[in-house]
Structure 1
Amino acid sequence: MWFANFLVAASTTMIMPFLSLYIETFGVFSEEYVQRWAGFVFGITFLTAFFVSPLWGRFGDKRGYKPILMITGYGIATSIFLMGFIRSVEGLFILRLLMGAVTGFIPTSLALISSQTPKKIAGKTLGTLQMGTVSGGLLGPLMGGFMADLFGFQYTFIITSIAIAIAATIVAIGIKENREKKVQKNQQTFTRKEVLGHIFNHRGLMTIMFITLLVQVASLSIQPLLALYVNELTNSSNIAFLAGVAFSAAGFGNLLTTRAWGKLGDSIGYERVLLILLLFAALVFIPKAFVTSLWQLILFRFLFGIAIGGIIPCVTAYIRQVAPASMQGEVLGYNMSFRFLGNVIGPVMGGIFAGFFGISSVFFITSALFLLTFVILWWNVKKSTSIIRSEKRNS
């Protein structure tokens, strides 16, 4: 799974640094038009995935996660292959929309490994798995930017699709899902209404879902615009490659720390680790608005990668702890939906603010979102601690 995630993450992030540049090849457009459509094209995939993810999660609880991995793997590969032959921004938008219906390979892999991992080491294990994703995300933008400059956009899309198809084939041949625990006759099953009721009635789960949404909004707000921002900071002709370097800087920081954050969450609690990460992310995002050279942007992207590295493993491990086994896939599916909704809102929001106030304004908005998320989680932890202490005094 680690190797398959590496291939998928590397391949899907190959196209991210030059997505806005690819739109510019379709015609002569204004800067505001490219920024706006970069946000729309980037976000529409996740809008579709927002509605589909809970269905995949419920299917996984009943039938297993391996079939979902194969469907999403081959589906993503087909979508990206066709993107290399599209010649209009509207066509690219439609392909990204259709791709959303089969998006979710990496989140589903987390659900698969989580379902078969002891709770006491869930954070460490998921952090280790996340290293495969991060390693791919680290190399993907570099390789994508390099290939786009060397071979052109079309061949980069084709190579990307082949790599993802290989990852799906690895799953088909090399993964054996152990579902013995999930098919016990005496295990309780839940309807969709009961699953939603459990989420809405659980303070911690609702807070985690909302945090997932805000973190994704903040993280994705700048990504479609990063190549344009790099272009403002340098006069080099290799913009796609340099944008890939800026993308990968966050991945490198993530790679160095994601396993350690998960292990720390196992020891001191996932909510405490999340508080540290959210505050750190809020602080390191502001300086990006004031950078005057590319190396400064790369440095703060690296620090942001350190901050963001443990959020996904800690969130997944927390859900693993508090959700009943027979509904974990569906609960994780709803959490994926919140992530994908954030992936929709973030790029669109970033594109709109950049169009009106400039790209630098997006960094201030993003930092404020991370700070808001920190306050929400801190308030929930404080409230939960007060309730526990009150119950102990009463008993």
Structure 2
Amino acid sequence: MSIEKRNLWIMWICNFIIAASMTMVLPFLSLYIKTFGDFSAEYVQRWAGFIFGVTFLTAFFMSPIWGRIGDKYGFKPILIINGLGIALSIFLMGFMHHVHGLFLLRLVMGIVTGFIPTSVALIAKQTPKKEAGETLGTLQMGTVAGTLFGPLIGGLMADSFGFQYTFIITSLAIVLATIVVIIGIVEKPRDDQQKGRIRRSRKAVIQLILQRRMLVSVMAIAFIIQAGLFSIQPLLSLYVSELTRADSVALLSGLAFSATGFGNLLLTRKWGKLGDDIGYDRVMMILLILAAILIVPQALVTELWQLVILRFLFGMAIGGMLPCITAYIRMEAPYELQGEVLGYNQSFRFLGNVAGPLIGGIIAGYMGISSVFYVTGLLFLLAFGLLWWSMKQSHAKVKEIY
């Protein structure tokens, strides 16, 4: 096996472990906060949103910094630093007894969440351009699979071993993945041929984006979608506990989390193919309407199985949104600037990851968890309206030209 293929499969396995570990704690995060003291439901819901979202806030600022350091010193050292940093943060979470300490650890964890983006950069740099799409798609499957099974594994471990041991086991798994990187990954020497070339400034790239209305709208929609998706995430375990009297709440919460992932994984490629055939913007409009229709009934369920089915169907709808957004940006952005433009889109998604839990926590604290589903439905309708308006303006501009 060549070095390139060995690196690919090693990073696939490590990304699966990292993605799973990063999502293992999600099903019981709010339940863990409840063990810190006799708090009101509003207090727990609000802090669950804050603690969940702060990781993405620091990641938003740190991601480009890790990229620049990796370009200068190589990506393997960054993988090792981030892997050990994530492991230490999660390990210490198991020994926290108050929300402020947990909040601080999640903040620190955001500083070192560059493992998966750095692995993508490492594999992309060693892959020929003609094979980049297939290779990076293969790598991405490791992350998707880890994200899918992580909540389910975390819920099962929490019910079996307790919260503290779940954090400890998770951190040990990340250390193991980091050791595999240290031993198995062989990074090629950096290519310095690109040094000295004049690059377009950040200001020039931003101006280019602002000149293209649809690019701005699509990035704004990416923000709205992420905010909608993450508004309910930290509160889902509490909602599950309201729907069932079973003892294994953490496991059942993991099942509700994973149901969305299964639906997402099932139709993602098919939605993308449909976008190739009829246009990515049209598919996005269809999916935004479907998501709004499928999210609202989740506020009205009376049994857990109803929620799981609706989460599965909801996952099928949202599965094609981000791939279609990415494909549209790749189509519209100049070839030499696609990576940077996609980077700005990722920043909008990080902001959505921060805003969503804050919105959900505040709304749930004042109006109840069910109301979060209604607000999320409105967010998807807002995104649909923005996309429809942008398409209309774009078509009108084309007619003026011709």
CA–CA separation in structure 2 for the residues paired with 1:150 and 1:318: 44
SS across alignment from 2:96: coil
1:165 aligns with 2:166: no
Q: Does the 8 A contact of 1:187 with 1:326 survive in 2?
A: no
1:15 aligns with 2:25: yes
1:316 aligns with 2:363: no
Q: How do 1:132-281 and structure 2 match up within 5 A?
A: 132-171=142-181, 173-174=184-185, 183-184=193-194, 188-281=198-291
CA–CA separation in structure 1 for the residues paired with 2:357 and 2:332: 31
Give the partner amino acid of 1:256.
Answer: L
SS across alignment from 1:388: helix
CA–CA separation in structure 2 for the residues paired with 1:265 and 1:149: 42
Residue of structure 2 equivalent to 1:346: 356
Residue of structure 2 equivalent to 1:298: 308
CA–CA separation in structure 2 for the residues paired with 1:161 and 1:56: 21
Q: Does the 8 A contact of 1:3 with 1:132 survive in 2?
A: yes
CA–CA separation in structure 2 for the residues paired with 1:191 and 1:27: 51
Distance 1:275 1:111, change over 3 A: farther
User: Structure 1 residues 56-65 or 247-256, which shifts more?
Assistant: 56-65
The one-character-per-residue Cα deviations of 1:55-94 (angstroms, maximum 9, x if unpaired) are: 3455567777665544433322221122112221110000
CA–CA separation in structure 2 for the residues paired with 1:240 and 1:76: 22
Q: Does the 8 A contact of 2:272 with 2:323 survive in 1?
A: yes
**C-alpha deviation, 1:202, in angstroms:** 2.8
The one-character-per-residue Cα deviations of 1:320-367 (angstroms, maximum 9, x if unpaired) are: 344456654443333222212111111111111111111110000001
Q: Which runs of 5+ in 1 are unaligned?
A: none
Identity %: 62
Distance 1:104 1:334, change over 3 A: farther
Aligned length: 390
User: Structure 1 residues 109-118 or 140-149, which shifts more?
Assistant: 109-118
Q: Does the 8 A contact of 2:230 with 2:353 survive in 1?
A: yes
The one-character-per-residue Cα deviations of 1:163-198 (angstroms, maximum 9, x if unpaired) are: 333444555534757986x95468651223223323
Larger RCO (CA under 8 A, 6+ residues apart): 1
Q: What is the RMSD computed on CA atoms of the aligned residues?
A: 3.0
Give the partner amino acid of 2:144.
Answer: V
Distance 1:317 1:12, change over 3 A: same
**C-alpha deviation, 1:268, in angstroms:** 4.0
Distance 1:233 1:287, change over 3 A: same
The correspondence for 2:297, drawn from 287, 305, 312, is 287
Distance 1:159 1:330, change over 3 A: farther
**C-alpha deviation, 1:132, in angstroms:** 2.7
Give the partner amino acid of 1:382.
Answer: K
1:24 aligns with 2:24: no
The correspondence for 1:90, drawn from 84, 100, 111, is 100
Distance 1:295 1:183, change over 3 A: farther
Residue of structure 2 equivalent to 1:77: 87
Residue of structure 1 equivalent to 2:6: none
Residue of structure 1 equivalent to 2:4: none
Distance 1:294 1:271, change over 3 A: same
User: Structure 1 residues 166-175 or 22-31, which shifts more?
Assistant: 166-175
Q: Which runs of 5+ in 2 are unaligned?
A: 1-10
**C-alpha deviation, 1:254, in angstroms:** 1.2
Q: How do 1:55-134 and structure 2 match up within 5 A?
A: 55-57=65-67, 68-109=78-119, 122=133, 129-134=139-144
CA–CA separation in structure 2 for the residues paired with 1:42 and 1:369: 20
Taking structure 2 as the reference length, the TM-score comes to: 0.86
CA–CA separation in structure 2 for the residues paired with 1:323 and 1:74: 36
**C-alpha deviation, 1:130, in angstroms:** 4.1
CA–CA separation in structure 1 for the residues paired with 2:100 and 2:16: 30
The one-character-per-residue Cα deviations of 1:87-109 (angstroms, maximum 9, x if unpaired) are: 21110000111111122444555
